[in-house]
Amino acid sequence: MKLFKNFKSHKKKFAIIQDSKKYSYDYLIKYSEKISKLIKKNSLIILISKNEIDSIAFYISCIKNGYYLIILDENSNKKFLLDTIKNFKPNYIFYPRKYINLKKKNKKFSFSNYCLEEIDKKEKKINVKNSIILTTSGTTSNPKFVRLSNKNLIKNTEQIIDYLNIKKNDITITTLPMAYSYGLSILNIHLEKGATIVINNDSVFSKNFWLKIKNFKVCSFGSVPAVYDYLKKIKFENFLTPPLKYLTVAGGKTSSKTLNYLYEVCRKNNIKFFVMYGQTEASPRMSYFDLTKHPKKAGSVGKPLLNSRFELYKDELIFYGENVSLGYAKNIKDLKKGDVNNGKIKTGDLGFKDKDNFYHIIGRKKKISKLFGLRINLSDIEKTLKKNSINVKAIIDDEKIKIHCIKKNIENKIKDLIFKEYKINRNYIEVKNEQDFRKNINFKNLK
Per-residue pLDDT tens over the stretch 224-281: 998 999 999 999 999 898 889 999 999 888 999 999 999 999 999 999 999 999 999 9
Choice between 99 and 294, residue whose per-residue pLDDT is larger: 294
Is residue 279 situated within a structural domain?
Answer: yes
287-327 per-position pLDDT tens digit: 999 999 999 999 999 999 999 999 999 889 999 999 999 99
pLDDT of residue 443: 31
Does residue 352 sit in the same domain as residue 382? Answer: no
The number of distinct structural domains making up the chain is 2
Give every CB contact of residue 30 below 8 A, 6+ residues apart in sequence.
none
Question: What average pLDDT does this structure show over 124-153?
Answer: 88
Which long-range CB contacts under 8 A does 426-430 form with residues at least 24 apart? 428/226, 428/371, 428/372, 428/399, 428/400, 428/401, 429/400, 429/401, 429/403, 430/400, 430/401, 430/402, 430/403
Does residue 139 sit in the same domain as residue 218? Answer: yes
pLDDT of residue 425: 80
CATH number at residue 391: 3.30.300
Q: For residues 155 and 415, give the distance between their C-alpha atoms in angstroms, rounded to a whole number.
A: 42
Question: What average pLDDT does this structure show over 365-392?
Answer: 74
pLDDT of residue 364: 73
Does residue 116 sit in the same domain as residue 226? Answer: yes
Question: Is the pLDDT score of 388 beyond 50?
Answer: yes
Does residue 36 sit in the same domain as residue 141? Answer: yes
Does residue 176 sit in the same domain as residue 317? Answer: yes
Look at residues 346, 364, 382 and tell me which one is the last residue of a structural domain: 364
Q: For residues 40 and 67, give the distance between their C-alpha atoms in angstroms, rounded to a whole number.
A: 9
DSSP 102-119: --TTSEEEE-SSEEEEE-
Question: Is the pLDDT score of 343 beyond 50?
Answer: yes
Question: Is the pLDDT score of 102 beyond 80?
Answer: no
Is residue 1 situated within a structural domain?
Answer: no
Does residue 380 sit in the same domain as residue 350? Answer: no
Domain containing residue 47: 7-364
Contact 337, 310 (CB under 8 A): no
Question: Is the pLDDT score of 32 beyond 50?
Answer: yes
Residue 446: band (very low, low, confident or very high) from pLDDT cuts 50, 70, 90: very low
Question: Is the pLDDT score of 140 beyond 60?
Answer: no
Tell me the whole-structure pTM to 2 decimals.
Answer: 0.84
Identity of residue 204: V
Is residue 323 situated within a structural domain?
Answer: yes
Question: Is the pLDDT score of 195 beyond 80?
Answer: yes
Residue 437: band (very low, low, confident or very high) from pLDDT cuts 50, 70, 90: very low
Does residue 58 sit in the same domain as residue 187? Answer: yes
